[in-house]
């Protein structure tokens, strides 16, 4: 008969808090000092794709943009694509001027003949997308707070939202560190992550609540730790079956779905971790501060001391 795995998740809370503390500190530092690279959908501007030729450097492309009269060309984002082309993002918001600049850059660098591949989005559309994304995010968090407070208790809702903030910060921090562009797909992935992260947390919280209704022979932390271990197999199975297809989507889904899959993958891994490493530990510490559970802890400590003597 195989031995059941039992992990003292709550006894290792300092390790989990240290890991999360480092990840959040790095994420916040990256967001402050490096910042996010927002797509033109959020700030307006132009994206042009230039088929290049051997020997052309990013600095030569930047110089050609300046000669073409592209505004703020020094801060243009220039990246290579998988097929070796240049993906150039500029602040130009006039579609006609952007197309003229494209042709001038092709001529200046003597690039191969190519169709004009320019996408221009005005700043008004970007503001609208940003406002809609923030509204969706705010409504989601308020709805989560309300639902869990009514269905379970407010301490669960607050710790669940703290875990969501933890996951969102790590996702955004990795975007800042890697320099990946934040697009509407990224926002859609963040909203999806809220659901995945919350699912694992609610499964654990539900079992903790069931096991602590009539608690008399264990401390709250011990019962909570038992609860996590009782749903451990389910937690592993649901996490893996969710992460595997998203991983496949990231590697084989093509450029269009890559942004969505990347944010989703990081968020799902963080969400699986935070449900047992962050939310459960904060909730157990908070509950242990209640007079009922403090008295129970004291009683169990006295029993243990008496037994030891």
Q: What is the pLDDT of residues 60-104, one digit of tens each?
A: 888 888 888 888 777 787 877 767 788 888 878 788 888 888 888
Q: What is the dihedral of CA 276, 280, 281, 287, to 10 degrees?
A: -170
Contact 225, 8 (CB under 8 A): yes
Mean pLDDT of 182-196: 80
Contact 265, 243 (CB under 8 A): yes
* Position with higher pLDDT, 70 vs 4: 70
Tokens of 284: 């157990």
Contacts of 295 by beta carbon, 8 Å cutoff, 6+ apart:
none
In the three-class reduction of DSSP (H, G, I as helix; E, B as strand; rest coil), residue 156 is classed as helix
Helix (H) or strand (E) holding 213: none
Contact 40, 184 (CB under 8 A): no
CA atoms 292, 283, 141, 247: torsion sign: negative
Contacts of 154 by beta carbon, 8 Å cutoff, 6+ apart:
148
* Position with higher pLDDT, 117 vs 273: 273
C-alpha to C-alpha distance for 265 and 44, rounded to whole angstroms: 27
- Write down the pTM of the prediction: 0.77
C-alpha to C-alpha distance for 219 and 40, rounded to whole angstroms: 54
């Amino acid at each position: 008969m195989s031995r059941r795995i039992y992990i003292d998740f709550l006894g290792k809370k300092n390790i989990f808090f240290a890991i999360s503390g480092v990840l959040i500190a790095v994420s916040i530092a990256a967001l402050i000092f490096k910042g996010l690279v927002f797509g033109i959908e959020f700030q307006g501007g132009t994206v042009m794709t230039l088929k290049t030729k051997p020997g052309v450097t990013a600095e030569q492309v930047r110089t050609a943009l300046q000669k073409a009269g592209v505004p703020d060309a020094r801060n243009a984002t220039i990246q290579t694509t998988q097929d070796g082309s240049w993906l150039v993002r500029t602040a130009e918001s006039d579609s006609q001027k952007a197309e003229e600049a494209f042709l001038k850059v092709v001529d200046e660098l003597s690039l191969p003949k190519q169709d004009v591949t320019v996408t221009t989005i005005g700043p008004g559309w970007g503001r609208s997308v940003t406002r809609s994304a923030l509204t969706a995010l705010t409504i989601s968090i308020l709805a989560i707070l309300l639902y869990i407070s009514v269905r379970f208790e407010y301490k669960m809702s607050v710790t669940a939202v703290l875990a969501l903030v933890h996951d969102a910060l790590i996702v955004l921090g990795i975007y800042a560190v890697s320099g990946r562009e934040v697009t509407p797909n990224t926002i859609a992935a963040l909203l999806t992550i809220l659901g995945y992260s919350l699912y694992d947390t609610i499964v654990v919280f539900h079992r903790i609540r069931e096991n602590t209704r009539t608690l008399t022979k264990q401390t709250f932390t011990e019962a909570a730790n038992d609860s996590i271990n009782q749903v451990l197999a389910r937690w592993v199975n649901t996490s893996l079956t969710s992460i595997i297809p998203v991983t496949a989507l990231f590697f084989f889904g093509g450029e269009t779905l890559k942004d969505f899959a990347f944010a989703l993958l990081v968020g799902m891994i963080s969400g699986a971790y935070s449900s047992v490493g962050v939310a459960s530990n904060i909730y157990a510490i908070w509950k242990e501060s209640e007079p009922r559970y403090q008295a129970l802890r004291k009683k169990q400590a006295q029993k243990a001391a008496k037994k030891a003597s």
